[in-house]
Structure 1
Amino acid sequence: MTENEILNFAISQGIIDISSVQEKIEMTKREELLKKHIYKIWQSKDKNWYTYLPDEVKGRVQRKRKSQEEIEQVVIDYWKTEEENPTIDQVFNEWNDRKLELQQIGRATYIRNQQFYNRHYQKFGKRRIKGVSEDEFSDFLEAQIPEHKLKAKAFSGLKTITRGFLKRAKKKKYITFHVEAMLDDLDISEQSFEKSNKSSEDRAFTEEEFPRLLHYLCSNINVHNLGILLMCITGMRVGELVTIKYEDFISPNLVQIKRTETRFKDETDTWRYEVKESPKTEAGNRIAIIPKYYSWIYQELRKENPFGEFVMSDENGERLRTSHIRRRLYAICRELGFDKEKGTHTCRRTYASILLDNNVDRSLITGQVGHTDIDCTEKHYHEDRKSPETKIKILSEIPDFTA
């Protein structure tokens, strides 16, 4: 029999008095709540009893009662309220800490969650969660879009952490409304979001720029340039690139993508970079295909870095970070005289756009870029790379315009 079963049996047989059991439970609970108290309880010369309670505005506030029992009850009531009706801040922190402790998220995601939360919930988060209605949460979220000029992706991040800690609140019985229903009913349209000022020419390499970039990378061989070339011809993310090991190459034309780089701030507020033994998303776990024309890249990488564990390593065998690759690509854009410096994600968008423009099978495209469905690729990665001359040629060849 379990401990609870033995206890229930003893109560049912009259061996133990239920009122004494209840009294013992209450005493234990009182002791637990008193142990949470971080301030001293003392009796002053005026015979009154004093302590401090935490205060979010002043830091702490003093409380006074005539007896020790009364001041202890003040403390117990305070911590009981904290447990039964915590602030939104406390619910979020408990949820985020728990996710990290259970290894459901990494350190980088933990910090990103905290950053999202701090940006939006600085004032609203001080409220007791039981006193916030479903409509108030809904109105708060809708108001964040114009207040912070959010784009759709940023608002999606805000919704993700809100969904997470509110589901935790629902499980703890702090709230009663349906979280998903509240989020689904938000009065938001595509027009609500801040639009990116970047044109397609800013977001992808044009059909004039891309061949020049590839020619430069093939003509100036080093580890950095070979890495950028790999991104251009496979669509892999830069975080995936810098965590590839030689053992991940199945052949010169096939490479297993199964890791990514993450970064987080340590206790000294210094950025740390680590290798996460899983890709950014579940769909990110894939085999990237290198076109036959570029089979030579593998051997060149071996020549440049014959002893390093990671393919992207410097002359000392140290793994290159994403920032190293980004800076190198910016420098190449300047060297080639491109109108703007373009980042590593530009390689990925260019790759996806080329596949879409060439009517490659949709399942092959999503497999290559590591997306769950083609809608994401079409919506966020398909850019217009064509020059005005190419557009004139395409439109001029339409039969309806040739009469």
Structure 2
Amino acid sequence: MLDVAQVQAQYEMKKRKEMLEQHNLKIWQGTDGKWRTYLPEPEGKRRLVKRSTREAIETAVIEFYEIGRRERTVTFQKAYFKWRNFQDQMVGDNTVAKYNSDYRRYFENTEFVKQDIKTINIERIKIFLCTTIKKKRLCKEACKTLFGYMNRTFNSAVINKIIDKNPMEGLFPKDFYQYCHDKKKTAEQHCISDTDMEKLYARFYKDYETNPAYIPTYAVEFASLTGMRVGEISALTWDCVGEDYILIKQSEKYNRRTKTYYIDATKNEKERIFPLTEESRNLLARVKKIELQNGFICEWVFANENGRISAPVISSCAKNKCRQMKINTKGIHAYRKTLNSKMRCAGVSTTVAAALLGHSEAVNIKYYSFDMSSLEDKREIIENVNRKMPLAN
């Protein structure tokens, strides 16, 4: 029978011998019985150490070289932050903050990042990716993000001559999609149904009666009419409101690094024109009247006694209206998806819908278009198709 303890002891002895062979300086016993040797220092210097026994001096030598080896070892973590030292200079503060939070989410305190990057092979990479995806129930987008961080770290290590070749060559994010958690939501989860919208509007009008000077409610209703981003609503100024349109050219942004809000360009950095309807024009007229009566009027469309109303306040108001009506909590983004889906179901092209909402057609199709038609709508469509069928003899 194999004696595990004996095998382990033999392995440790062999490892100890190999470490001592690196030490080419003499080990000797002095007249005082102490054992001595020199350990190399920077710039060609040497440091004398002494111990009571030969075993103790050999242990000191081994520890010295082991510490040196660990310091020279480039772990995945060291290589990652070497890449970050370069990458952080190429991106904005919010992206850097995202990198930091993602590092904590994917890598922090894992055994993988402690490994010598030279020893990491494709099998270790596959195991780490598969395990992390399953454990954290990552969706495909998050899987791609994690894969990207690892791939760029290895590429940086190649560029900096730490390793000769990227071990992830030949691997693709799609190789791991089978382990991903599919977070499919129904149209009802993404959008606001007609029934819930009626309840919300009833709440809006009740607020206007009981607390007409509470401006965030008007901003939420405005979101339902325009599908604007919450930051765009918060940053809208009166000089961008025309007779029959509004100019959407800026948005409130949040710097996650400095924790400050500021006004900048829209998300896609493009201005766009959005038509005013009778409903939205009437809403803006009511807002201006209330703000004039209460002394809130300023350059910002949605303002109170403290000035411009920030995006988080508007978002919080939207969710609070849902809670008050005891319906599923939805934010401003749900109004945006609802308006787009209504347009698409009404036959509006992707090109037009995307232009109105200020994003690409691909984004519109993938993230904003949901079937909002009722059973009656579908029945009418099928009936129209059936009427054109040849009659049976």
TM-score (structure 2 length as normaliser): 0.68
Q: Structure 1 residue 201: deviation in Å?
A: 1.1
Equivalence for 1:87: 75
Residue 104 (structure 2) pairs with residue 118 (structure 1): yes
Q: Could you tell me the TM-score, scaled by structure 1's length?
A: 0.67
- Matching of residue 228 in structure 1 with residue 197 in structure 2: no
CA distance in 2, matches of 1:312, 1:163: 45
Are the equivalent residues in 2 in contact too, given 1:231–1:241 (CA < 8 A)? yes
Counterpart CA distance in 1 for 2:314 and 2:84 is: 31
Contact 2:252/2:311 (8 A) holds in 1: no
1:276-331 deviations in whole A, cap 9, x for unaligned?
63444xx3533251433213444444453745565444422264242x22321122
Note closer, same or farther for the CA distance 1:401–1:44 as it changes in structure 2 (3 Å cut). Answer: farther
- Map of 1:2-401 to 2, 5 A cutoff? 64-65=60-61, 79=71, 81-82=72-73, 86-100=74-88, 102=89, 104-106=91-93, 108-121=94-107, 122-177=110-165, 182=170, 184=172, 186-189=174-177, 192-196=179-183, 198-210=185-197, 213-214=200-201, 217=204, 220=208, 222-242=214-234, 244-246=235-237, 249=240, 251=242, 253-262=245-254, 264=256, 272-275=259-262, 277-280=264-267, 283=268, 285-293=270-278, 294-303=280-289, 304=291, 306-308=296-298, 310-317=300-307, 319-322=309-312, 324-338=313-327, 340-372=328-360, 374-399=361-386
Distance 2:265 2:167 in 1: 29
Q: Which residue of 2 aligns with 1:269?
A: none
What is the deviation of 1:227? 1.9
Work out the number of aligned pairs and report it: 330
What displacement does 1:261 show? 2.5
Counterpart of 1:22 in structure 2 is none
Q: Do 2:236 and 2:300's aligned partners in 1 also have CA atoms closer than 8 Å?
A: yes
- Alpha-carbon distance in structure 1 between the residues aligned to 2:111 and 2:216: 45
AA in 1 matched with 2:276: P
Q: Which amino acid aligns with 1:154?
A: A
**Which whole-Å deviations, capped at 9, do the CAs of 1:141-197 have from their partners, x for residues lacking one?**
2443323221223323323433443443343233454699545364144x6432336
Please state how far the C-alpha of 1:76 moved relative to its aligned partner.
6.7
Residue in 1 that maps onto 2:30? none
The 2-side partners of 1:343 and 1:133 are apart by: 44
CA–CA distance in structure 1, aligned partners of residues 317 and 306 of structure 2: 18
C-alpha distance in 2, partners of 1:123/1:248? 56
Q: 1:86-144 CA distances to partner (integer Å, 9 max, x unpaired)?
A: 222223333335444x26122x3323222222222233112222222245334432443
User: How far, CA to CA, are the matches of 1:45 and 1:307 in structure 2?
Assistant: 82
CA distance in 1, matches of 2:252, 2:48: 58
What residue ranges of structure 2 are gaps of 5+ in the alignment? 1-41, 54-58
Q: Distance in 2 between matches of 1:299 and 1:286?
A: 23
Report the Cα distance in structure 2 between the residues aligned to 1:237 and 1:248, rounded to whole angstroms: 19
Instruction: Indicate the residue corresponding to 1:25 in structure 2.
Output: none
Compare 300-309 and 167-176 and name the one that shifted more: 300-309
How far residue 350 of structure 1 moved from its aligned partner, in angstroms, is: 0.6
Per mean C-alpha deviation after superposition, the further-off stretch among 144-153 and 173-182 is 173-182
Partners in 1 of 2:336 and 2:80 — Cα distance? 34
What is the CA-CA distance between 1:224 and the residue it aligns to? Answer: 0.9
Tell me the distance in 1 between the aligned counterparts of 2:266 and 2:167: 29
Q: 1:87–1:212: structure 2 CA closer, same or farther, 3 Å change rule?
A: same
Amino acid at match of 2:192: F
Q: Alpha-carbon deviation of 1:353?
A: 0.6
Same amino acid, percent of matched pairs:
19
Corresponding residue for residue 4 of structure 1: none
Q: Distance in 2 between matches of 1:206 and 1:117?
A: 38
Q: 1:341, CA displacement in angstroms? A: 1.9
Specify whether residues 211 and 227 from structure 1 end up closer, same or farther in structure 2 by C-alpha distance, changes over 3 A only: same
Q: Which residue of 2 aligns with 1:58?
A: none
